[in-house]
Amino acid sequence: MLRLYNAKILMPDMSIENGEIVIDNGIITYVGDIRREFEYTQEIDIDKNLVMPGFKNLHTHSAMTFLRSYAEDLPLDRWLNEKIFPAEDRLTEEDAYYCCILAIMEYLTSGITTCFDMYFYPDAMARASVDTGFRTVLSGTLNNFKESLDILKYNYNKYNNFDPLVSYKLGFHAEYTTDIELLKGLAELSHKLNASVSAHVCETENEVTECIKRHGKTPVEFFSDLGLSDIPKGIYHHCVWLTDRDIDILKKHDITVVTNGGSNCKLASGIAPLERLDKANIRLALGTDSAASNNCLDMFREMWLATALQKQQTQNAAAFPAKKVLMAATSNGAEALGIDAADISVGRMADLTVIDMHRPNMQPENDVINNLVYSGSKENVLMTIVDGKILYERNKGFNIGFDEKEIYAKIADIADRILR
Amino acid sequence: MLRLYNAKILMPDMSIENGEIVIDNGIITYVGDIRREFEYTQEIDIDKNLVMPGFKNLHTHSAMTFLRSYAEDLPLDRWLNEKIFPAEDRLTEEDAYYCCILAIMEYLTSGITTCFDMYFYPDAMARASVDTGFRTVLSGTLNNFKESLDILKYNYNKYNNFDPLVSYKLGFHAEYTTDIELLKGLAELSHKLNASVSAHVCETENEVTECIKRHGKTPVEFFSDLGLSDIPKGIYHHCVWLTDRDIDILKKHDITVVTNGGSNCKLASGIAPLERLDKANIRLALGTDSAASNNCLDMFREMWLATALQKQQTQNAAAFPAKKVLMAATSNGAEALGIDAADISVGRMADLTVIDMHRPNMQPENDVINNLVYSGSKENVLMTIVDGKILYERNKGFNIGFDEKEIYAKIADIADRILR
């Protein structure tokens, strides 16, 4: 049993309480005032720092870390076709495994305890997650080139019976990479398995324009008409370019919208209308997207951007305030993924982050949540705990079964071989 | 003599070279390959991390740290008038001194070695800088309420003869807070002292509209016509709302534009047209603005925003690329302030930052500058050196003559007294 005491605790209602947390076998078994009745295997003085639910990174392609800083300053279509796709063709599954470990290390330094990962080597991330102790939900990525319906079906069964740290959701890459016959097959599979479908949706204006040309409908309408959103709780990534009718459809099918402010800015794709979506009661979550497009896998950046870009876009400094951002980054993401780690309460999985409040950027504590969202950075991540195990400590390093510098050397070799 | 060896060095031309740096009495005396002919008082193995010029934070109000996270989600005018100004009325000069020390601590954690500080208690920041060893250029803040021409003149003489770490430039707060008679007096003083003038300029659309109503001109035209920009190298903060004619005037008078992406987003003020300014060969620099509006004093955030917001605004993923951003954050800032710390070369002042490349967000090293600008964060600041002295080490803390936790306690008391 692990005891975290003398802590500030971020409670499910977003209030802050002083107290302690007890974790047993990966589960939170106590949250509250000091008590001394147990024998603990480990007791940690949190020194009045903040214990909060770990961040849920709802959109990423972990294996793409080898491409960080490789192809900069290009629009999405040229970036994908001229740089990213050719490089990915040379990536082996073994390469991808190590790239995923690097991504997991980066997630842990940013307090991220779960990611929703979409890549054509799901085994790489599944194994990397189990081997390091990280939690991952895999997304299918059905498309014309690399993932068939048979593969998708196989993966769905395999990774939903793989390890408690791993699960799998149906998904396709995007409208512009996936033929209608495949999408029809996917809709059928979704109905048969009673499983929702995730995808990249309305990321760029061009994507929407081309879809309307091809099918006479927006991507959201097109997917809905194909039956791809009949099973509720699909997860749509980006959603930058939406009509009011699209938003009605998203609401009707209880679809979660994942915003990726960093990637959308850097690729000049636009700003997702989070205020409109929030007013329509759409569940919002945050994602980093990949190291190739963002370029860092940092939920502090994404939290700040989620609110700052809304304020900027709506010309309203009150838009999408800190508490909503923090919910999107934590509990909403857990709810969307169906994992029992939404907040700090008894019975939940112990996926936690400890935030160092004793840093200049967190002082004074006029408002802890505002500090976290508007000022927080990776320097504040003291500790990241997944499934009750401490996987990262700022002052001690990683506890994931791999040597940090060996991973860097391995990735350098992979990048050298593929990119140079 | 301090020797930093086994380093990657960011060179003046933005190339990266392996080598070492020798510092003697606050000045860089050697940059190049390994040599062993000297007796050093201290030798540090940089472990192939990156030594770069420290960041120059060209716009801030350091003393405002006590207001962090206090007044959120309000537009600029209500934020200033209802929240900030009343709170500042209760701030003493002694309070401001400690708030400045907190700001300096935060600067050091972000690799910032100099700031251009505007506040109505210049003595607080001047003393805090000297006492901690930090470098500050103070800006006058002439206005109708708190700083007269006499005070400005007095401060100009006092702080340009105060300490080698401190200097002073003429400045006024903004058009909307400073009557025309004061501005005329300031123009006269500027001519007399042959000293350029700095100010908040064109931060919000409303500011420009109101100025045109009052004077029939944009703020940039108005200041130019008053003779306030006759002495070249003024520094204008924000410049979000500019006409083409404004840009011609800025160029003509060699005015530096300081962009504050974080503050402008958060207060919903708009996005400064950096691409247009860069194409017009205007010198660009970066600032954090204050902890009350941003809310953190972090040049990594500002670097990323400077490029990402341009890409977003111009819908061009190639806009304002990493190297230009890094120059804005370092050498341009030094040049604008007239301090001899623009880059790492012999004879320059040793204001340096060491960036930890052995972190997940900096791997692989496909491009070190892209990594720094697109992925860098405060977690990567290993060491900050001002005037040849190591003032901050990530693993050892601050070396500024103050106890970290005592400063936090002091600021908490100030915030409690003033804000609650």
pLDDT in tens, A99-150: 999 999 999 999 999 999 999 999 999 999 999 999 999 999 999 999 999 9
Q: What's the CA gap between B134 and B349, in Å, rounded? A: 13
Does any CB of chain B come closer than 8 Å to the CB of residue A304?
Answer: yes
Superfamily (CATH H level) for A2-53+343-398:
Urease, subunit C, domain 1 (2.30.40.10)
The encoded tokens of residue B47 equal 């472990």
The encoded tokens of residue B99 equal 């708030």
Q: Chain A residue with minimal CA distance to B413?
A: A364
**CATH 2.30.40.10 segments of chain B:** 2-52+341-398
ipTM associated with this complex: 0.96
**CATH 2.30.40.10 segments of chain A:** 2-53+343-398
A123 exposure class (CB count in 10 Å sphere: 0-12, 13-18, 19+): middle
How does strand A381-386 pair with strand A389-393? Answer: antiparallel
DSSP state of A54: P
Q: What's the CA gap between A339 and B17, in Å, rounded? A: 47
Measured in angstroms, the CA of B281 and the nearest CA of chain A are apart by 20
Tens digit of each residue's pLDDT (9 = 90 or more) over A204-229: 999 999 999 999 999 999 999 999 99
Task: List all residues of chain B from 65 to 124 with a beta carbon under 8 Å from chain A.
Answer: 65-70, 72-76, 79, 102-103, 105-106, 109
- How far CA B234 is from CA of A340, B196, B224, in Å, comes to 57, 5, 11
- Could you say which of B265, B311, B377 has the minimum Cβ distance to residue A268? B311
Distance of CA B158 to the CA centre of its chain: 22
Mean pLDDT, residues A357-379: 97
Q: How far apart are the first and last CA of chain B?
A: 49
Q: Are A308 and B266 in contact (CB < 8 Å)?
A: yes
- How far CA A386 is from CA of A101, A125, A266, in Å, comes to 15, 16, 30
Helix (H, G, I), strand (E, B) or coil at B410: helix
Q: Are B370 and A69 in contact (CB < 8 Å)?
A: yes
**Are residues B27 and B347 in contact, defined by beta-carbon separation less than 8 angstroms?**
yes
Q: What is the pTM of this model?
A: 0.97
**Are residues B316 and B279 in contact, defined by beta-carbon separation less than 8 angstroms?**
no
Q: What is the pLDDT of residue B420?
A: 87
Please identify every stretch of chain B with a pLDDT value under 50, giving residue numbers as ranges. Answer: none
* Single-letter amino acid code for the residue at B5: Y
Angle at B233 between CA B230 and CA B235, to 5 degrees: 105
List helix spans (H) across B235-346.
244-252, 261-266, 274-279, 299-314, 322-329, 331-337
The enclosing H or E element of B237 equals strand B235-238
Mean pLDDT, residues A80-97: 94
Instruction: Determine the angle formed by the axes of helices B93-109 and B404-419, rounding to 10 degrees.
Output: 130
Q: What is the pLDDT of residue B36?
A: 67
Strand partners, A351: none
Q: Which of A267, A379, A405, A413 is the mutation pick for testing B, counting most B CBs within 10 A?
A: A379
Q: Chain A residue with minimal CA distance to B106?
A: A360
Does any CB of chain A come closer than 8 Å to the CB of residue B162?
Answer: no
Residue A36: pLDDT band by 50, 70, 90 thresholds?
low
The encoded tokens of residue B320 equal 């304002």
- The dihedral built from the CA positions of residue A55, A59, A61 and A66, taken in this order, carries a sign that is negative
- How far CA B368 is from CA of A12, A68, A149, B59, B283, in Å, comes to 41, 10, 40, 26, 24
**Are residues A130 and A386 in contact, defined by beta-carbon separation less than 8 angstroms?**
no
List helix spans (H) across A8-68.
none
Q: What is the pLDDT of residue B77?
A: 77
The enclosing H or E element of B166 equals strand B166-171
Q: Which of A68, A105, A267, A357 is the mutation pick for testing B, counting most B CBs within 10 A?
A: A68
Contacts of A262 (CB under 8 A, 6+ apart): A288, A289, A293, A294, A296, A298, A301, A302, A305, B308
Q: What is the pLDDT of residue A332?
A: 98
Task: Give the phi and the psi of residue B197 in degrees, each rounded to 5.
Answer: -125, 135
Task: List all residues of chain B from 343 to 382 with a beta carbon under 8 Å from chain A.
Answer: 358-361, 363-367, 370-371, 374-379, 381
Q: How far apart are the first and last CA of chain A?
A: 49
Mean pLDDT, residues A265-274: 93
Residue A411: pLDDT band by 50, 70, 90 thresholds?
very high
CB half-sphere exposure, A231, CA atoms < 13 A: 19
Q: What is the pLDDT of residue A79?
A: 82
CATH level 3 topology of A55-337: TIM Barrel (3.20.20)
Helix (H, G, I), strand (E, B) or coil at A84: helix
Q: What's the CA gap between B375 and A158, in Å, rounded? A: 34
* Residue of B229, B230, B231 whose CA lies nearest to B239: B229
- Could you say which of A75, A300, A375 has the minimum Cβ distance to residue B295? A375
Tens digit of each residue's pLDDT (9 = 90 or more) over A283-338: 999 999 999 988 999 999 999 999 999 999 999 988 999 999 999 999 999 999 99
Q: What is the mean pLDDT of chain A?
A: 96
**CATH 3.20.20.140 segments of chain B:** 55-337
Mean pLDDT, residues A160-177: 98
Q: Are B69 and A296 in contact (CB < 8 Å)?
A: no
How many helices and strands (H and E) does chain B possess?
A: 16, 17
Q: What's the CA gap between A97 and A65, in Å, rounded? A: 11
CATH level 3 topology of B2-52+341-398: Urease, subunit C; domain 1 (2.30.40)
**Are residues A150 and A185 in contact, defined by beta-carbon separation less than 8 angstroms?**
no
Q: Are B298 and A361 in contact (CB < 8 Å)?
A: yes
